[in-house]
Amino acid sequence: MTVDLPTIRLRPKSKPQAIRHGFPWVFADEAVTDRRTRAIEPGGFAVLEDAERKPLGLVTVNPNSKIIARMMDQDPEASIDRAWIAARLVRALALRERLFDKPFYRLVHAEADGLPGTIIDRFGDAAVIQPNAAWAERLVGDLAQALRDVTGVSTVILNGQGRARGLEGLPERMEVLSGGVDVPIEVPMNGAIYLADVLGGQKTGLFYDQRPNHAFAQRLAQGARVLDVFSHVGGFGLAALAGGASHATCVDGSAAALELARGGARAMGAEDRLTTRQGDAFAQLETLAAEGAQFDVVICDPPAFAPSKPALEAGLRAYERVARLAAPLVAPGGYLGLCSCSHAADLTAFRNASARGIGRGGRRMQLLHSGQAGPDHPTLPQLAETGYLKALFFRLDG
């Protein structure tokens, strides 16, 4: 394959050791971007060379992105075709089938599963592909066919939405590539039943990453009054009900998401123990405080307030504000769970912002547990972005 491929070369001051040791990205300022490089079609392939022209591997190139090259295969002779994709999917599926007894999980977690910029979530006989890199957009037909061949799913949906695609210069689009599905889909997880709208919901329709953190929260929720803020389709609230909570209140800005939360509670036979409140989460936290509301367990799982380094300071202030407003709602001796899906805010920064907020909310705390995404979201140690999720659980006194 290399005979027909162009080359892309690292600048002399770039460090090829990082690439050799597993770092999968080359940024635009690290590569020689001459006329030939800029002529490579987004999503095309090239051989990556160091400054001495020694090959480092086969990469996909997007001259329009700050990440100009992503490592596809350390073998520069590799052919990126349907068979290559299928081999990666076989490896990813073997891990998930070892971990889970039902086919509801993240099947492909981008670079960590060897398919750069590509997310695939499985919902039984349906799967949703998020091709967030130009190569995956170009080869989405091969991705979909390999996915059907390897997993046996009949329905494949392309969800081309989100910030990541914009950074790659890709348009937003949604398309059913094969089969069909009645939405929402019932998804069993931690004893709860969630309703996933795979055609119109956020991301792929459900957040599988919080599965182990839902399970930990269940242990705190037995017989408890639970508040789930930024609840989406009832993530922590429904898990708490499945774990024996006396009542759960879900707060979210989306009426559609809250309707799915109520549907999940109905499917579980727990609708009488669920209350929903639609509105801005910060305003709802303030209103609940004004009402004198108290809960045994409060969990806040907001969107990414710090999606990039330039947004970090503002994002940390937002996380601190969430903690400050949530802390007074926790009954003495109760529990507060705070989450961040911002890869730009590392665990230490997020923990410090959360602790400041709790303190400014007038409460003393014990940190009980630090959680992360489940094992169907493996991390690539060399790439911090794959380990984005953080969940902190505190016990509050005073």
Phi, psi of 176, deg, nearest 5 = -85, 115
Which of 19, 23, 90 has the alpha carbon at shortest distance from 382? 23
The alpha carbon dihedral of 208, 209, 211, 217 has a sign of negative
Side-chain half-sphere exposure of 250, counting CA atoms within 13 A: 30
Classify residue 359 as exposed, middle or buried by CB count within 10 Å of its CB (0-12, 13-18, 19+).
middle
The alpha carbon dihedral of 164, 166, 168, 172 has a sign of positive
User: Whole-prediction pTM value?
Assistant: 0.95
Give CA–CA dist 178/147, Å, rounded. 11
Arch. (CATH architecture) of 2-73: Roll (2.30)
Question: Can you tell me which residue has the tokens 């591997």?
Answer: 57
pLDDT of residue 282: 98
Phi, psi of 164, deg, nearest 5 = -60, -40
Positions of CATH 2.30.130.10 in the chain? 2-73
Which of 160, 136, 156, 159 has the alpha carbon at shortest distance from 145? 156
What six digits make up the tokens of 303? 């969107």
Beta-bridge mates of residue 159: 174
pLDDT of residue 3: 54
Which of 373, 390, 385, 381 has the alpha carbon at shortest distance from 106? 373
Residues of the chain predicted below pLDDT 50: 1-2
pLDDT of residue 2: 45
pLDDT of residue 1: 46
Q: Report the catalytic residues.
A: 341
3-class SS letters over 198-236: CCCCCCCCCCHHHHHHHHHHHHHHCCCEEEEECCCCCHH
Q: For the chain, what's the residue count?
A: 398
Positions of CATH 3.40.50.150 in the chain? 185-397
Which of 280, 278, 391 has the alpha carbon at shortest distance from 336? 391
What six digits make up the tokens of 330? 């926790």
Positions of CATH 3.30.750.80 in the chain? 82-178
3-state secondary structure of 73: strand
Helices 82-99 and 140-151: crossing angle in degrees, nearest 10, is: 40
Do the beta carbons of residue 148 and residue 82 sit within 8 Å? no
Phi, psi of 267, deg, nearest 5 = -60, -25
Q: What is the CATH number of domain 82-178?
A: 3.30.750.80
Do the beta carbons of residue 298 and residue 335 sit within 8 Å? yes
Classify residue 256 as exposed, middle or buried by CB count within 10 Å of its CB (0-12, 13-18, 19+).
middle
Superfamily holding 185-397: Vaccinia Virus protein VP39 (3.40.50.150)
Give CA–CA dist 156/133, Å, rounded. 18
Model confidence over 164-188: pLDDT tens digits? Answer: 899 899 999 999 999 999 999 999 9
pLDDT of residue 14: 84
The alpha carbon dihedral of 16, 21, 23, 25 has a sign of positive
First to last CA, the chain: 67
